[in-house]
Structure 1
Amino acid sequence: MKRIILIIFIVGCVVAAIGLMITRPQRLPADALAGFEADLDRGKLVYAAMGCASCHMAPDSDDQSRLPGGKAFLTDFGTFYAPNISSDPEHGIGGWTDEQIATAVLRGTSPDNQHYFPVFPYGSYMRGNMSDVVDLVAYLRTLEPDQTPSRAHEVGFPFNIRASLGGWKLLFTDPDWVITRNLTEQEARGRLLVEAMGHCGECHTPRNIFGGMKTDQWLAGAAIPGKKGRTPDLRAPSLGWSAADIVAYLKTGLTPEYDSAGGEMVDVIANTSQLPDSDLSAIAAYLLLVDSN
């Protein structure tokens, strides 16, 4: 009997070790950023498209150039607080290398090789382009440092076990596109902006009990964590807007019925209104592809 228990214990340890190895935090290759030359003007647009300020500005602030963090995100798993990502070397990311920042964005792995909680939308960002991330990193380094310490998350057991997030990533993230059909150049640009940079699915797609997005209900609208109501269904038949309607909304925050954007969309419009019309038209072209099936 003791021998059987020992064998079970050993097998369990081996399986656990294999599992931890498979789900260990992933980093970008050391030469991943080689050959890319940063463009600050494009970096500013990437910064807007990715909505960095929306989460990392101080609560109740509208200054997109200061990123002390502190905004609270209520979820079924606990309350998460956006960290300081200013250029401060002690409290922000000013002491990180370019590779460390890019790895955080595209792999969800911290400089000390820990998994980030998926409230940071790396599951969407991982579909992005390396050139855009290089431009973003360069732009982030131009922003003012802020010495506000990041606030600790309020997450209880077992959701605070970061090692388990490797399994979550394995099950619920996918670097491939959600819409995989052949697209025009404009539609493909819209897909990049919606599925990756703009991470629209993070709020507008329903989630399962583990917090993974139900991509078979892509952009169908979802419950708002910690609040009443749902985000809107963005699929073309349900939305019922024309391309011109979508562009106008993303530029002005006004719907075809002249209602104004509210809630988190106020910050989103503050970002999308900075994008060129060509990008807004690309977003519209993509959204009109998304059906209810």
Structure 2
Amino acid sequence: MKLLDNAIRLSYPLPNGKTVKLKLATEELLGVRMNKNVKRLIGCYEQDMLFLNKEIEGNIQQHLDERYGRDKSKKALDELRTLEAVVFAPVNAQLDKVDFSVSADQLKAFFGTQLDEEFARLKNGDFDPTLSYILNNPDGQALMRSLLTQFSIEFLIEGAPMGLYATGAFGTLQSHLLRVYQDEMGNGVPEDKHSHLYEKTMLDLGLSDTPDAYQDHFLTSNMLVSAYTYQICHDKSKFLRYLGAFFRNEACFIVWQKQLGDSVREIYSGKVDCHYFDVHTSVDQAHGRWVLDNLIDHALERFGDDAAPIYYAVL
């Protein structure tokens, strides 16, 4: 394993009292080869979902055939497992050495603490150092535009991977999961769809609101996070991991969304639409509690200690 200069080492406490230490800034994980492979992998996952840009050149059926035809789908499926093995190997090699044994009671207490701490930070938490740096930098607007462009890989398709769990039949968990999914999609009101809210932010910044417009500019680390989200939605054997990731997305970024929205307002003097951040500051407080009380708790009650994989994706 070749560490890059100023390599990042992250340490996380586990509910069982142990600690996992990850070395993330490595040549294997963030190098040029990984960048190419993870981009190809995301392209394979996107065969699971429908993407229609607002403006499509030529015949719509021709467009669908070219992007989603049988040959394209077969090629993606053939490449998928090989690319997954290559892309996720650097992190899996480290995680495979970690003792994740944990009880349902430990998990329940851990998730509850995570949510309580997030609510506490909302009232009196420290301001994010990255945002502070941007606010105090002479090139703050350019830095913020770059940051928001990176977020577009997720925010412009918000809820799309989650929709892969809309099918099937898995009882109460399915109903509770889709309750949140409906909110993400705007509850039948296109203007309230969360991805649409971010489109307005991008347009106010003079940027494209097309999801794949900046795919050649996304950081490798950013694409890896996106690819992992796709994987645990595509591969149904990782459903428990998805529940953990879902909780983290809904419950652990409330403060960040508020501070990000405040920063965008300040840097651009209120000229950029920040409704996306306002909605998430408010709605995610309800979503975080909902996911904990109705998804995590239900899964732990139903599956007991066997639900330990829920924690894997919370790191």
User: TM > 0.5 between the two?
Assistant: no
Q: TM-score scaled by structure 2?
A: 0.28
Greater helix fraction, Structure 1 or Structure 2: 2
